[in-house]
Chain A
Amino acid sequence: MELDAGGTPWLSRFKDPGLARRLIARLGRELSRPVRVMEVCGTHTWSISRSGIRGALPEGLELRSGPGCPVCVTDQTDLDRMIALAGRPGLVVASFGDMVRVPGSAMSLEEARALGADVRVVYSPLDAVALAGSTGSQVVFLGVGFETTAPVAALAVEEAARRSLKNFSLFSRHKLLPPALRALISDSRTRVEGFILPGHVSTVLGRRGFDFLASELGVPAVITGFDPVDILLGLKELVGMVCRGEARVVNAYGRVVREDGNPRARAAMDRVFQPADELWRGLGPIPQSGLRLKPEFSPFDAEARFPLPDPAPRPLPRGCSCGEVLKGILAPADCPLFGRACTPERPVGPCMVSSEGACAAYYHYGWVPAREGGEGR
């Protein structure tokens, strides 16, 4: 990774606060009636909260956060499986950092580590392959994430195969976003009229990968980047379409996202993974929305190698509204536990843990209900 100091100057066009303020004013004029749209991706949720956009939105425009937080949509039973894997003696479990603090039914991966489990935080599945190459222990990578992380996990499995590693395996709970968006639209309680589509996933799927939203489901959507001006330009486009009753999928992030996305990344996923029915936290089972290893890669399949009894499904903590929040039915502050029983220090649900979770974003960036006086937003 190369970070060019001059490449992303703070005052670039896409961060220019003056331009952003003018766009907010124009957004208000675009709005001819109350509109509710959803930002699908957790990175957008954070950027919108952090930049102050959430506080500057015109009256009548509601932005709901969606299911685009990989850790948040990992089902409780899958989380419990991962924690059970970590509890096996001699097994090293490698995970993205976000995952380790999510409370499972009995404990989190972090708590399992305190009890002696070997849980390592890595930043890429390829690091887990490197780890396997340098130890004698069995290394299991916990694969979560969408079309952005799945290609890297695919490359990691191919790398392990190329090196004939006998001690690397993947526990895949990678998920596909388009089927989840279909499921959301078919849930009448969501009442979302348009989508801000995830910029990163779109780099892989391309604009074409989301065209079905408009052509099949009649829902407008915009692909945007993550800077305030990007987001506001995208919102203006989207609100305009909603108010005019138009349904198109517009790529407003053309400097990064191509019409056809990244065919090589998709090819890597296709070589290694096959779609499978998948359980999403909050959204429930969605057909063909998960990725599992193809049979020819079964030596690298952690589930084949370390069979686990299915953990008994346990009820979610009482009052946790993560499911409704992930579907955009509720805003984080509408959850009765938000900021009271559930805080980043003592999270009840995953949405309060992950750096992409909506509840954590609202909490960290102060869009919380007032305890005395004033209603929350």
Chain B
Amino acid sequence: MTEFLAFTITGIVTGAVYAVAASGLVVTYTTSGIFNFAHGAMGMLMAFLYWQLRVHLHWPAPLALIAVLFVLAPLFGAVIERILMRNVRGSDTGVALMVTLGLLLFLIGLALTWWKQTEPRALPEFFAGHSVRIFSVNVTWHELISIAMAGVVAVVLRLLLFRTRTGIAMRAVVDDRDLTALNGGRPSRVSAMSWALGTMLAALAGILLAPKLGMSVFNLTFLVITAYAAAIVGQLKSLPLTFAGALALGLGEAYAVGYLPTSGFLSHVKPSLPMIFLFAVLLFLPQVRLRIGRVVGGRSVRVPSWREVGVAGVALVVASWIIAASLGSADLASMGQGLAFGIIMLSLVLLAGYGGQTSLCQMTFVGIGAVVAAKISHGGSPIGVIAAAGAAGAVGAVISLPALRLTGLYLALSTLAFAVLADNLFFLQVFGGGGGLAFHRFSIVGISFNGDVAYTVLLAVVFMLMAAFVLAIRRGPFGRLLSAMKDSPAACATLGLDLTRTKVAVFALSAAMAGVGGAFFGGLRGSVSSNDFIYVQSLVVLLLVTIGGIMTVLGAFLGGLFLGPGFYVLGKIVHLDALTFLGAGLGAMTIARSPNGVVGQISGVVDRFRRRPAQPEQGITGVEVIEEVERVVAPVG
């Protein structure tokens, strides 16, 4: 009984901190309409800043707390809103997703650079050493404070949102931003305030959690996944339900720690509980209604002709042969990586660029492909590649199913959750922490691509074949269908298209392509480990292909080029540990200005050079406005 009570108290404490984090997420999301994937990273950064003041500079706790919670955090949140999020609003959710993910990676990169993870760091609890006995269970003051804080947050948010002018304005903005503006409210100021508030809450959660969780950049950032697992119970809207969800999650975790075996498969369930929780809740969420009356500007990019593709393909293969033959082995490895990542990124061009879906777990599919290929013939055979595609595709179909009934945001959330889940439950099992899987190089009909140069050329050939495959889809009925579905899902449904099935199909196909990438990636490396597939890698890959231009196969090539040779060369000039995170994050944050990435910029310049007028974007928007005016003046009937 005492044991049970102890676990319950631990659960309530954890749940309280989750509630604080989750309520911050909900407040920013509902008020600004942007789901902040960087919420946990912001909390992490603030926790580190607090550590800097409190431990490194020996400030007294109250002073450090005031500095972080009431000065740095709100300031940071408001500045982020002003600089980054303002451009994002009004553009589609895809852009908001990339920008907040970019911020997430950038903050991780920043923290890794400033606070090197090799140094041990610890944050003391509040009033460390003090505790009280409640029914024969020792409860530390820190734990009591955590619970009290959640209570304070609940009461303050309630009062703020329902009793103050600001809060009422916040809720009004949620309901109708334009109407609020018409009535003289200032949605942008309100939105900045909500970001300030959200960051404060993230900071508070981070500081409360850090003593227990440790000063780990990744673990603290991770808090966001836990937080949104809780927030999703309230469908990202309701604060009371969010609190309930957080509590359930905290208790579940505590009991899992207490009662599940400490070794074997089940012992990994505890860190995965938020993700399992999330999937379970997703299954019960009602299907969203199809939205109509939304004008979609069909931004689209010219599809190259087969002739152009053929010429480019031959040129790429020949060029990579010549370059590969003249490079030293380290340089060559980076080039091979670029091509391998290019192959992986092609799967995202299909999924996100053509299909308008998101995946934050593409490297997980790569990993699944790699593992399956390695188990069969060490990856070196066509059978291995096919099996990799099959396995990754099947997993893709299964995990996308619950989220695809819902909106894009839920797909992003659940794929990220899946990536983390796979890290904990699958990859760590397969590789057994730090271990690797050996790969042979690919060989077919007696021809082996054993040498580094030969393998690099092979990768170039595979890239071209996959690019041609993706382009063939783009030109065929399925590609047309994907464009149509992106422009108007509602219209597709009223023509008899089963949207969910189509989405699952494209998701599975994309996952299968990533699986193929995994087989070749493994061959390139010679051996892979769980670190190659951790969730941030998926984000890096997604962001870099977005920066390259996710609408086109050329964008995938460029994305691979950045991630392979690009950062390799940059790393020789700038000596920073987390260069990839910083670079990818920074690049992604500018995506609001140019949603088609570098390819979009280039084709814009080319168009201007040829003095061709740029394609009229969103012609309908203009027409609709005129029509609306007509409607107002025309006599009705």
Is chain B a partner of chain A in the same complex?
Answer: no
Residue ranges of A at the interface with B (Cβ–Cβ < 8 Å): none
